[in-house]
Amino acid sequence: MEQTNYRFLGKSDLHLTPVGLGCWQFSKQNNLAGKFWPTLDDDLIRSIVNISLEGGINWFDTAEVYGNGVSEKALSKSLTTLGKKPGDVLIATKWWPMFRFASNIPKTIGERIEALSPFPIDLYQVHQPYGLSNEKAEMKAMAELVKSGKIRYIGVSNFSAAKMKNAWETLDKLGIPLVSNQVRYSLLDRRIESNGILQTAKELGISIIAYSPLAQGLVTGKFHEHPEMIKTIGYRKHSSFFKPSALEKSRPLIMLIKELAKKYQVTTSQVALNWMIHFHGETVFVIPGATKESHALENPGAMNFRMTDEDMERLDRESRVFQV
């Protein structure tokens, strides 16, 4: 089937595929955030990026805190080696606010630009709402970067509905859109549907970028079939999602996902991602990661089919228990 059409991110002219590639796993264990994933060598990173591109993905999401710039550099190196030029792909990255004031935003933008060189920053996001300045001060600093041409658009990440709206209002007064809020969202974590984030985003024309859209691999069912694997997955094993009681709670949903994967002749991951990019119209984008070439092959495939409304509603009903 033909690939799902590109979509605009929020009220921007960024024309993105509904599936992008999350690049946290390119951190090479360089700092605390980087230790969440195994070290991937340059050849594997380049291959993952290339497979993603060949599958039709046209954008990548990274961040300063992913290895203190290591992920950004690995991404730009891979794209350059693959012969990509500025404008061929779109890049999103993030400023880390913890223990910093908004004044740090213009001070460190040069480091982000250098790390991603020669590729421009199409979307620059405030990574967390926990900085030493409030979101209004941060948005004013980000707006200056737009005005000076250092970045194209502004997003936030992990912002509550109230903080997202404050950020939107601050930028709106300056004639600049807040285009996205990147949050944790999956069939196994639908809290943004009950805490106001999704509804507020829809009302304001802000896109949702869903990270951890596969619930750290849980939606695939592999940990339900082989719970002994949980011991081998590093920091993730401490998540409440991996407790025996949580696995039992999610088992009926996993069984339905497997049933639908068989029906559509796709993988369980692709069923989960397909539901996310279609159930709420064009509001939700997803950024699954990939530590293996097989993952990179799977991700874009989520855009190449569409489940029936009835099947999407079945997934909705079975996963509503995860809205709180």
Number of domains in the chain: 1
pLDDT value of residue 232:
61
Mean pLDDT of the chain: 92
C-alpha span between 91 and 276 (Å, rounded): 21
Q: Is the pLDDT of residue 169 over 70?
A: yes
pLDDT of res. 229: 63
Domain for residue 127, yes or no? Answer: yes
Q: Which of 17-26, 38-47, 126-135 has the lowest mean pLDDT?
A: 38-47
Domain that residue 43 falls in:
7-323
Q: Which residues pair with 284 in a beta bridge?
A: 208
Of 17-21, 41-45, 51-55, 238-242, the one with minimum mean pLDDT is: 238-242
pLDDT above 50: residue 3: no
User: Which range, of 35-49, 55-69, 219-233, averages the lowest pLDDT?
Assistant: 219-233
- Say how far apart CA 254 and CA 252 lie, in whole Å: 5
- 308: helix, strand or coil: coil
Question: Domain for residue 293, yes or no?
Answer: yes
Report the relative pairing of strands 7-8 and 15-16 from DSSP bridges. Answer: antiparallel
pLDDT by residue (tens digit) across 68-90? Answer: 899 999 999 999 999 999 999 99
Of the residues 6, 66, 130, 153, only one is catalytic, namely 66
Does residue 1 sit within a domain?
Answer: no
Residue 2 domain-assigned? no
CB contact at 8 A, 190 and 216: no
Q: Is 6 a catalytic residue?
A: no
71 in any annotated domain: yes
Residue 309 is assigned to a structural domain of this protein? yes
Quick one: what percent of the chain has pLDDT higher than 90? 79
Residue 203 belongs to some domain of the structure: yes
CATH number, domain containing residue 75: 3.20.20.100
The pLDDT, as a whole number, for residue 247 is 81
Helix axes 309-319, 268-279, angle to 10 degrees: 100
